A and B are shown apart, each in its own frame.
Chain A
Amino acid sequence: MTNAFETIPMRVVAEEDLGKPDLPPEEPSLPPGEWLKKNLFSSVGNTILTILVGALLFWAFRGLLDFAFNNAERDWTSVAANMRLFLTFAYPVDQYVRVWVSLAILLSLGGFSFALTRNIGGITLRRIATWFFTTGALVLAATLLVKGPLERDADGVLIFNEENEAIRNAVVWADRSIWFIVAAALFAIAAAIWFGFGDRRRFIFIPTHYVLYAMFGAAVLSLFVVKYGHYGLREADGALVPVMEPDSLVARSTRIPWLVMWVVTGVAYFVGTLLRSRGWFKGLTGLSWLLAPPFIMWVILRDPSFDWAHVWSTDIPMFAAFAIGGGAILFWLSKPDLGEIGRIIAFGLGIVAFLSFLSGALGWMSMLQKARISFVLLAMFALVAHNFAGDRSARLRFVGAWIATIAIVHYFVTAINTPSTLQGIQSDTFLGGFLFTLFAAFVGLVVSFPLGAILALARTSKFPIFRILATTFIEVVRGIPFITVLFFFSIMLPLFLPEGMEVGEIAGVLIGLVLFSAAYMAENIRGGLQSIRRGQFEAADAIGLTPTQRTGLIVMPQALRVSIPPLVGQAISTYKETSLFAIIGIFDFLRIANNVIPNQSTPINFVGHKREGLLFVSLIYFIGSYAMSKYSQKLEKDLGVGTR
């Protein structure tokens, strides 16, 4: 009850309100000798432990470095030269601008979202100095520990020289001067921060957002400075010739877009900070997150080529019919004091929606999928209409929401059922690589979230049949491995659907992913729901809210806040689960490393080079999920979960 910000988190607050974070108390820094004695050699047993674990770490670190970089069989060009395959699989190169636009959309949304969250927490200059120092120490250690390099022959191919272990162990230090310089530079920066800023100023606090943006910027700018190498294919004399320039900057077509991405993110963040006090901005950002994945997948990446004659003759009239007819019904249904007649009508619409599905299935009537979906949506809107009753403008807003929803849904359904303009892309199988991994994780989270929320509500409902249905679903799904779910949806789903209702294999397994992660998400949200005291329900009832209003206005906002940390944990799991797509033959990130590259013989022979790719994949997965887990720990601290 003392500190508002502990009990009321996740609120947009102007930065000046936040109060400056307290300076951490000056830690009495022990002299190095005493620090060592206290933390490493406090007793005989501890000394032995320190030496043993130190030896283990040394051995593991050196072994890993040697395994990764200097083992006779390691050839990292297999990763570098296949970067495009890793990231976007077979996406047409001449259409890459679409990929960049998609990325820009996601980064802008990220910028908006960051602007909406509180920019507190972060690090002090003191910590930054420690970072630089630690990185420098790691670089130095690696430079000293790694065995000597392998020779290359005139064609740049590594020479395998097993007998030369002795030579490799005799390191020519001069060859590594660059790394010594790097380490020295890092130490110098650390020292400059540490000693250049006085005692108090060392605690100057840099908020997380700026640190993250600076790190992003550093990575992007390094593309213009550090020679990561340039790999690719060039067409010469009618044949594709590999380009391998290990000592040059990355291609301009990579550098420039990344710079643009960096700028776009910054601009989005700035715009977000300007707009965040507006009430609509938060909702609009959330809605954009929901709409972005289908928009990117089916509109930008797939570029539907509409058959305009059909659009004008069928699609638009159908949209108009639903927009006007449905709008009129909803306008009437949201009349105040309509009473239970409204609910009866809404229920009737629900029956129509159900029958529209059944009718297609039983062959009574062949109706367009769009009509079925629209009927379901109309029934859902009708069922909640009485909550939006009010004066004329309130009712018109409600009808407006209906028309917007139906427009978006109709557009997407039409777009999905339209062939692509892109050459060679007629189905959704063009998706692959890391692009697909990201996309799948994203869809898995965004779509399964509302589903999980509904399941959680049903499972905690006081209606026994809802409870039984939800519990059965959740427990069955949680009891079986994801791989069997994937098998089911890749093999079985087509068999369960009627003719004319086909989904591609990728869409099928995505449905599997969504259902799977919805079950887990439901459990997380249920945890949040159960943490809400009974009194909140009673108070909502006592002031006369309807059950829908009670759920939407009182229960869910509180429950979700409590379940954010476990939901982020679930996000990490889903991100990792996507790797299982490799098993059922989808060309995701992992499959490319494990199955594609090791079998590549042209234009460069990489046969058998599996471990480099796998290490690279591990690293990328690690970065993603480590970042998310750090974020979740920070959230948990900020939200003060468990303090309520």
Chain B
Amino acid sequence: MTDATLAGSQPGRPPFYRDATVVKWFAQLVTLLVVLGVMFFLAREAGDNLSAKNIATDFDFLNINPGFGISEGIDTDPDTGGRALWVGMVNTLRMAAAGIVVATILGIIIGIARLSNNWMVNRAAGIYIEALRNIPVLVQILLYAAILGSAGRLLQDTGPIEGWVIRSAKGLALPRVFIADGFYQWAIWLLIGAAIGWFLRRQQVAKRDATGQITYPNIALLGSVLVFGIIGWFAHPVFGFFTSIFEALGDAYGKIPQGALQILLAVASLAIAAWWIKRFLDQRRTPAGLAKLTDDDYFRMIFAGLGGLLGALLFLVLWPGLSSWILNSGQDLLYLLSDKFGNGRTGQPIDAMKPTLVGEGTLWNYGPQGLTLSVGFAAVFLGVTLYTAAFIAEIVRGGINAVPKGQGEAAAAIGLSRMQSLRQVVLPQAFRVSLPPIGNQYLNLTKNTSLGIAVGYADVVNTGSTVLNQTGRPLSVIAIWMLFYLACSLTISVVVNWFNVRMKIVER
């Protein structure tokens, strides 16, 4: 190695247009700018067009009487637009929850049936899967609605059990169980019971591990919840004093000045960014000092820093309304809780009501008189459930097929029966493979409930489109839809991922 050879080549930076790092980041930034530019341009156009056509984009309608009723749900006569959308959201969630449970059970049964040795069972499952998954779910929903809608055309009776079930062209009404006065106080009792039960359970497990004695940890947990539940059923007014606590909290919360909250949030946002950057740098620290950082490393830190700054800017300047919204809604929530724990609430925690028939052969509305299954609900429920079950069945079948043959043989070799081997060995392994795609199906099911609009089921899209037409705020309503569904999707994927991670750890 001589200096002469080194001098022959010119070290140092190349011209910027040939520098790979510069070109790389330049291309990205240009793309980002183009995307932002296009969005800006579209937003500008939209702004102009909206004002030209007198279409507002505000969210005031959330607090204004929407002027329409909803056929079914927790509130059939909402007093604000927000309440109407909330009813729709609850209906969507109700449908999704019911659909997910039933579709899972049905799907697993059919998936296992598809692998049965019994020719008849196997073929029946095959026909089900092929028929249901190859017809669009909307067509199925419309078909079910057409069939159900006409089936009840002539029926206006109250059978089969006098006074408890009402059938009509609009649907089926059942007795409804609902949360009554004392529920929230009672819930405190249940929570205490659960906490004590959890403690007992741990103790029992510890005892079993230490001494080898047979103990009953789960029974201890259930028992504790049950005992406290029973006591609480009668003693729940004890917790009536919570009302004043929440009221005081609400009063105190309301006194926070908006500026203070804004500053607090801005500082928090900056602090989180700073903490993230510090943690990142700590990861890059070696005994010999800080490792050399690549441009991607710098990007991450800059990105985090910009995120923090943007957050701070958002809270302080761009959207001060957010802070006041947090203040107001937080106070509202506390006052609401205070009301729920009201001292006057001494009734039983849970109550039930028979459905009532109002008017000539019509269920007046779908309020607290009874749990009603409208034709729309039934059609959407059947549609999404049967459709998704077909997909879940295929996933379950694939999952079981993915378990190596040797597992079943090993189970047989240690003397397990076919059912035992399926339950104890094959299914748990198949479940692990199937979980992510099944999670996807849950997402699809939730999204498919939006097809309720085709048969008049009052889900969030249906109520939203009514609100949209009544108030002429398409942009706002579409934004709410998107946020709602994104939240649902996120929740489902977080839950599924959590299971997934848990099971992977168990595996190792």
Q: Note whether A and B contact each other (Cβ less than 8 A).
A: yes
What are the interface flags for A140-153 relative to B under an 8 Å C-beta threshold, 1 for contact and 0 otherwise?
00000000000000
Q: Does A558 contact B (CB under 8 A)?
A: no
* B243, chain A: closest CB distance, angstroms: 39
Number of interface residues of A (CB under 8 A): 64
Q: Does A482 contact B (CB under 8 A)?
A: yes
A361 to B485, CA, bound (A): 32
A590: contacting residue among B139, B450, B453, CB under 8 A? B139
CB-based contact B45/A618 at 8 Å: no
A39 to B300, CA, bound (A): 62
Q: Does A629 contact B (CB under 8 A)?
A: yes
CB-based contact A579/B139 at 8 Å: yes
- A49 and B136 in contact (CB under 8 A), knowing A344-B17, A463-B24, A614-B146? no
A window 200-230: CB within 8 A of B: none
CB-based contact A579/B46 at 8 Å: no
CB-based contact A492/B28 at 8 Å: no
Q: Does B369 contact A (CB under 8 A)?
A: no
Chain B residues in 8 Å Cβ range of A46: 117-118
Q: Does A295 contact B (CB under 8 A)?
A: no
Among listed B75-83, B319-327, B473-481, interface-contacting one: B473-481
B474: contacting residue among A54, A478, A492, A629, CB under 8 A? A492
Number of interface residues of B (CB under 8 A): 67
A615 to B137, CA, bound (A): 13
CB-based contact A580/B451 at 8 Å: yes
B interface secondary structure, majority: helix
Chain B residues in 8 Å Cβ range of A479: 443, 485-486, 488-490
CB-based contact B42/A496 at 8 Å: yes
CB-based contact A618/B474 at 8 Å: no
A583: contacting residue among B27, B31, B45, B453, CB under 8 A? B453
Q: Does A263 contact B (CB under 8 A)?
A: no
Most B-side CB within 10 Å, residue of A42, A350, A479, A590: A479
CB-based contact A358/B41 at 8 Å: yes
Q: Does A418 contact B (CB under 8 A)?
A: no
CB-based contact A49/B135 at 8 Å: no
CB-based contact B49/A495 at 8 Å: yes
A465: contacting residue among B29, B136, B150, CB under 8 A? B29
* A63, chain B: closest CB distance, angstroms: 11
Q: Does B191 contact A (CB under 8 A)?
A: no
CB-based contact B485/A464 at 8 Å: no
B32: contacting residue among A54, A344, A469, A579, CB under 8 A? A469
A617 to B142, CA, bound (A): 11
A591 to B135, CA, bound (A): 15
B120: contacting residue among A53, A497, A580, CB under 8 A? A53
A344 to B448, CA, bound (A): 48
- A481 and B118 in contact (CB under 8 A), knowing A354-B34, A465-B28? no
Q: Does B482 contact A (CB under 8 A)?
A: yes
Chain B residues in 8 Å Cβ range of A370: none
What are the interface flags for A316-353 relative to B under an 8 Å C-beta threshold, 1 for contact and 0 otherwise?
00000000000000000000000010011001001000
Q: Does A100 contact B (CB under 8 A)?
A: no
Among listed A170-178, A386-394, A419-427, A483-491, interface-contacting one: A483-491
In the complex, the chain A residue whose C-beta lies closest to that of B43 is: A496
Q: Does A626 contact B (CB under 8 A)?
A: yes
A361 to B39, CA, bound (A): 12
What are the interface flags for A576-615 relative to B under an 8 Å C-beta threshold, 1 for contact and 0 otherwise?
1101101100000010001000000000000000110011
Q: Does A622 contact B (CB under 8 A)?
A: yes
CB-based contact B119/A484 at 8 Å: no
- A480 and B482 in contact (CB under 8 A), knowing A354-B37, A495-B50, A579-B139? yes
What are the interface flags for A616-627 relative to B under an 8 Å C-beta threshold, 1 for contact and 0 otherwise?
011001100110
* A623, chain B: closest CB distance, angstroms: 8
* A217, chain B: closest CB distance, angstroms: 24
In the complex, the chain B residue whose C-beta lies closest to that of A361 is: B41
CB-based contact A618/B119 at 8 Å: no
CB-based contact B28/A481 at 8 Å: no
Chain A residues in 8 Å Cβ range of B121: 49-50, 53
Chain A residues in 8 Å Cβ range of B139: 579, 590, 614, 617-618, 621
CB-based contact B142/A465 at 8 Å: no
Q: Does A476 contact B (CB under 8 A)?
A: yes
Q: Does A291 contact B (CB under 8 A)?
A: no
- A54 and B142 in contact (CB under 8 A), knowing A491-B474, A576-B136, A621-B136? no
- Lowest 5 A-B CB distances belong to which pairs? A479-B489, A39-B119, A481-B447, A465-B28, A576-B136
Q: What are 23 contact pairs spanning A and B, CB under 8 A? A: A46-B117, A361-B44, A469-B32, A469-B35, A479-B443, A481-B448, A481-B450, A483-B453, A487-B478, A492-B46, A492-B478, A496-B42, A496-B45, A498-B45, A576-B136, A576-B137, A611-B146, A615-B143, A618-B135, A622-B135, A625-B134, A625-B135, A626-B130
**A residues neighboring B (CB under 8 Å):** 39-40, 42, 46, 49-50, 53-54, 56-57, 67, 73, 340, 343-344, 347, 350, 354, 357-358, 361, 462-466, 469, 476, 478-484, 487-488, 491-492, 494-498, 572, 576-577, 579-580, 582-583, 590, 594, 610-611, 614-615, 617-618, 621-622, 625-626, 629
